Amino acid sequence: MNKDNRPAQEQIEKALLERAEKGELSCAVAFDIVAKLKISPAAVGECTDRLKIKLVKCQLGLFGYQPGKRRVTPASEVMAGLKSTIEAALANGRLPCASAWKIADDLGIAKMEVSNACETLGIKIKPCQLGAF
């Protein structure tokens, strides 16, 4: 740790290299590193870019799944409460990834339910907390 109690860049890189598999790091593992090192998701994203580690398996289903690359699918129905909560959280017409996670947590639903609802509503989720999109 450095003097302001943040992990040194070397510690972040070490954690990423130890946890990456075949040059890839899942979103869930990236956020585990965020929690353990008490750093921002953006710091992990920047470091994965420098190390040329590919981020995969977005917890919102938006990227990193083979063969189709995405897992998100339109919801058959979007409850009015979820719709209004998503619409209230929009920034420049988009739902930030962090807001999608908060909505899921606040409503006690899966993150994928939020992204599936956004898909139905034609709302893009952006920006990614890790900087992937």
**For the segment 1-32, what is each residue's pLDDT rounded down to a tens digit?**
445 555 688 999 999 999 999 999 999 999 99
Residue positions counted in the chain: 133
pLDDT at 31: 98
pLDDT score of 4:
53
The angle subtended at Cα 94 by Cα 26 and Cα 117, nearest 5°, is: 70
Burial 21-49 (b: 16+ CB within 10 A, else e): eeeebbbebbbebbeebebebebbbebbe
- Provide the token pair at 3: 């003097």
Low-confidence ranges of the chain (pLDDT < 50): 1-2
Q: Which tokens sit at 99? A: 């807001």
Geometric angle at alpha carbon 108, from 106 and 109, rounded to 5°:
115
What are the tokens at 117? 């609802």
pLDDT at 93: 97
Residue 67 is predicted with a pLDDT of: 84
Q: What are the domain boundaries of the chain? A: 9-56, 72-133
